[in-house]
Amino acid sequence: MLSTLGPGIVRGDSLEISGTVGPGAHLIVTEQTATRVLGGAAPSRIDAAWSVASGATLELCPEPIVARLGGDAMISTTVDCAPGATILLRDLASVGNDTRLRLRTLVRIAGRDAFYDSIELGVEAPAAVGTFAVIGRSPEIESLDALARSLALRIGVGVLPAGAFVRVLGPAVWPVREALDRVHALLSQRTADIAELTEARALLSSR
C-alpha cells in the first residue's frame, strides 16, 4: 500500500514510483486514500515504472485521482513484462472545470507494445472516468458484455490481442468505482481459474 501525500500533488511536484515482481509472484498495489491534484506554479507529474517476470501477476489498483483548484498533471504508468505474465490495471479520475489531467498507460511484452492508452480530461470531460485492462489472459468477453449491460453507466468493452479493455463514464466517482470493482472481480476470478487450471495440467503432465 502506497502512502499518499498529505495535501496532494501540487505546485509542480514530481513523483516517481518503481517496482519489480519476480517469477511466480503476485503483487497487488493500492493506496491509502485518493490522490488530490491541485494547482500551482507549474504542472505536476507522477511516473510509475514496473517490471514483471514470467509467471508473475501485477494488479495496479490505485484510489481515485481527484483534480481540483486549477490542478494540472500528467500521470504515466509503464509496465515491462515477460511473456507469461499477467497484468491487471485500473484507474479512476475526476476533474473539475478548471483542471487538466492526462493519463498515459503503456504495457510492453518482451519489448513490444501490447497495450497503450492515453486520455486527457478537462472542461468537457465526464464527471468521472474509469478504466480497467487485463493483459496476458483472454477473458470471456460475453461475461464482460453482460456485466456492462447490467450497469446504468456508459461502458465500452474492447478486445486486446491478449486481454480486454473496459472504459466506464459516469456522473460521480462512486458509481464508476463500484462498476470497476465488479469488472475487477470478474476478471480476477477468471484469471485465477485459468491459473489453477494451468497448474493442474502441469501437475498431471508431470506424473
Quick: pLDDT tens for 82-110: 999 999 999 999 988 788 899 999 999 99
Alpha carbons within 13 angstroms on the beta-carbon side of residue 193 total 9
Decide: residue 37, CB within 10 A, 0-12 exposed, 13-18 middle, 19+ buried: buried
| Rounded Cα distance, 103 and 48, in Å | 12
Average pLDDT rounded to a whole number, residues 75-82: 97
pLDDT range class, residue 58, cuts 50, 70, 90? very high
**% of residues, the chain, pLDDT over 90:** 59
| Rounded Cα distance, 39 and 73, in Å | 9
Q: Is residue 71 part of a domain?
A: yes
Q: Is residue 4 part of a domain?
A: no
Q: Is residue 169 part of a domain?
A: yes
| Rounded Cα distance, 80 and 92, in Å | 22
Q: Letter for the amino acid at 54?
A: S
DSSP 8-state symbol, 182: H
Q: Which of 42-51, 78-87, 154-163, 189-198 has the lowest mean pLDDT?
A: 189-198
pLDDT range class, residue 202, cuts 50, 70, 90? low
Q: Is residue 1 part of a domain?
A: no
Q: Are 33 and 65 in contact (CB under 8 A)?
A: no
Domain range enclosing 93: 14-206
Total of domains in the chain: 1
**Maximum CA pair distance of the chain?**
65
Q: Is the pLDDT of residue 196 over 70?
A: no
Q: Is residue 6 part of a domain?
A: no
